[in-house]
């Protein structure tokens, strides 16, 4: 199923879905459709990232983050995405995407998407992103305060800090490789 149809379906269900606190986990239920599959007849790796977008949009709407973004006239920007695949999803299987905010640093917010089938995590997608408005990036601590959270992030796991650091290193390397 195309991303646009999944987004539309999520938006149509929104009036019946309750708001959640910013550090809560949201759940979106989905099913595997033929266009989600690769030649191996299971969900293609890239499709997990696309479906995570739907889970993230649900989280942003239900947590109130979209209101904060609107006040700042800011748009969400995905900086980096990482995925871990443990089991496959096949045609017509039902699954859930559990989305939660892991925390933030001075520039990035970190969001996790767990793909769950039969109460088992089959894949994880982690994203670091930010909100950028006409005056530049909105500081994640300021964004958190507007959501009713403490400006100080919950402790970030070591693996997440190391991943973020490696993303910074790759960004620097890519800048050095740019043509004049």
Domain-by-domain residue ranges, the chain?
Answer: 3-177
CATH code of 3-177, in short, is 3.10.129.10
Sorted by sequence, the CB contacts under 8 Å of residue 14 that are 6+ apart come out as 58, 61, 62
Predicted pLDDT at 180 = 74
Predicted pLDDT at 119 = 96
Closest CA to 81 of 36, 117, 61, 51: 51
What's the mean per-residue pLDDT of the chain?
Answer: 92
Question: Does 4 have pLDDT greater than 90?
Answer: no
pLDDT band at 29 (very low <50, low <70, confident <90, very high): very high
Q: What is the pLDDT of residues 142-180, one digit of tens each?
A: 999 999 999 999 999 999 999 999 999 999 999 989 877
d(CA 50, CA 169): 25
Q: What is the pLDDT of residues 86-113, one digit of tens each?
A: 999 999 999 999 999 999 999 999 999 9
d(CA 180, CA 74): 30
Question: What number is the average pLDDT over the span 74-85?
Answer: 96
């Amino acid at each position: 199923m195309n991303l646009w149809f999944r987004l539309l379906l999520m938006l149509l269900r929104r009036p019946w879905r309750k708001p959640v606190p910013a550090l809560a986990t949201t759940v979106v239920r989905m099913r595997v459709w033929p266009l989600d599959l690769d030649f191996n007849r299971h969900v293609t790796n890239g499709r997990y990232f696309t479906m995570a977008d739907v889970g993230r949009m649900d989280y942003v709407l239900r947590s109130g983050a979209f209101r904060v973004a609107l006040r700042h006239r800011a748009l969400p920007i995905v900086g980096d995405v990482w995925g871990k695949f443990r089991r496959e999803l096949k045609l017509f299987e039902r699954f859930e995407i559990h989305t939660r905010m892991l925390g933030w640093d001075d520039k990035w917010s970190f969001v996790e998407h767990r793909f769950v089938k039969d109460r088992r995590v089959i894949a994880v997608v982690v994203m670091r992103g930010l909100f950028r408005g006409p005056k530049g990036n909105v500081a994640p601590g300021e964004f958190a305060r507007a959501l009713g959270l403490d400006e100080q992030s919950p402790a970030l796991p070591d693996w997440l800090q190391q991943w973020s650091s490696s993303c910074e290193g790759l960004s620097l390397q890519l800048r050095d490789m740019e043509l004049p």
